[in-house]
A = this chain, B = another copy of it.
Amino acid sequence: MRLLAVVEYDGTDFAGFQLQARGRTVQLELESALATCTGEAVRVIGSGRTDAGVHARGQAAHFDTAATIAAHPDQLLRALNAHLPTDVKVRALRRVPETLHARHSALSRRYCYRVLSGRIPSPLHRRYAHHVRAALSCQAMSDAAQLLEGTHDFIAFASEEGPGSTVRRIDRARVWPVGAAAGVGRSDRPVSPGEPIWHTYGDSAQLIEIEVEASGFLRHMMRRIAGTLLRVGDGRLRPEDVATILASRDKSLAGPTAPARGLCLESIAYPDQEMQQPE
């Protein structure tokens, strides 16, 4: 029978999702835990690769097994998590039809890229956000992001000529400020009414999220979109330049590949009819 797993991982100490000749990968950890729990050599198919250092909150992967424990996905879920290390866990596990394929059936993937903008890097954000010193205009980044929505040839944002089409559909590209980080400043919350006090925090830094949901992503596409939007944010590009870069199909015009640590695969969407569990 076929099962679909929702997988969360902290990518910091992984050489990516997909099995490699060398290096610790998420797929390797999942297949090892499955081998222990099912007694079978189980092959895990992810919805797509994630690069070394990239995180996931909602990666999806399917696998086939004949083990009796798989008839009780809740039991298998508990057993898997007992054998998985602390930086990768299966968040959900459900039986799906044999026609559901984690990669081919996916309608869309949603990624989030997090940037901390401020003079000083943050110890508490360093694992999950990319730090830039420049002040960023969220509005300019948001205006630029919306120009990417729709069906386009995204070759300008790819890192290599892949085999096959480079046309993808972006359903949603949004940028917003999440909250301020630490600093120092006069408080608006006095301990006793009217008594001015200082609190050891403030708004000297700004966390920004770039969210993109698309039918699919070319290699490094999300990180190059982030790198390009950062150039819009700090004023080196104008929002409308993003449309020009997209239309150019020229890989040398887009911004650099932003670091992996800021990227998280948030969720994968599947069609309802493909998720209906067999009787």
Shortest distance between the CB of A73 and any CB in chain B (Å): 11
Contact indicator B200/A89 (Cβ below 8 Å): no
A271 neighbours in B (Cβ, 8 Å):
195-198
Contact indicator A268/B199 (Cβ below 8 Å): yes
Contact indicator A182/B57 (Cβ below 8 Å): yes
A69–B86 CA distance with the chains assembled, in angstroms: 44
Say if the beta carbon of A21 comes within 8 Å of chain B: no
Q: Which residue of B lies closest to A270 (CB)?
A: B198
Contact indicator B191/A87 (Cβ below 8 Å): no
Contact indicator B272/A183 (Cβ below 8 Å): no
Copies in the assembly, this chain: 2
Say if the beta carbon of A252 comes within 8 Å of chain B: no
Say if the beta carbon of A6 comes within 8 Å of chain B: yes
A128–B9 CA distance with the chains assembled, in angstroms: 15
Say if the beta carbon of A58 comes within 8 Å of chain B: yes
Say if the beta carbon of A266 comes within 8 Å of chain B: yes
Interface size class of A (residues with CB under 8 A): 35 or more
Contact indicator A200/B272 (Cβ below 8 Å): no
A86–B129 CA distance with the chains assembled, in angstroms: 13
- Contact A191 B204, CB 8 Å, known A94-B184, A197-B270: no
Say if the beta carbon of A121 comes within 8 Å of chain B: yes
A184 in complex: contacting residue of B6, B81, B86, CB < 8 Å = B6
A127–B123 CA distance with the chains assembled, in angstroms: 12
Say if the beta carbon of A275 comes within 8 Å of chain B: yes
Contact indicator A191/B89 (Cβ below 8 Å): no
A184 neighbours in B (Cβ, 8 Å):
6, 58, 91-92, 94
A181–B92 CA distance with the chains assembled, in angstroms: 12
Shortest distance between the CB of A58 and any CB in chain B (Å): 4
A55–B107 CA distance with the chains assembled, in angstroms: 40
A77 neighbours in B (Cβ, 8 Å):
120
Within 8 A of B (CB), among A158-189: 171, 181-184, 186-187
A202 neighbours in B (Cβ, 8 Å):
92
A131–B98 CA distance with the chains assembled, in angstroms: 35
Q: Which 5 A-B pairs have the closest CB atoms?
A: A92-B184, A196-B272, A58-B200, A57-B182, A10-B123
User: Given A77-B120, A197-B272, list of 8 further CB < 8 A pairs?
Assistant: A10-B126, A55-B124, A57-B201, A90-B120, A191-B269, A196-B272, A198-B272, A198-B275
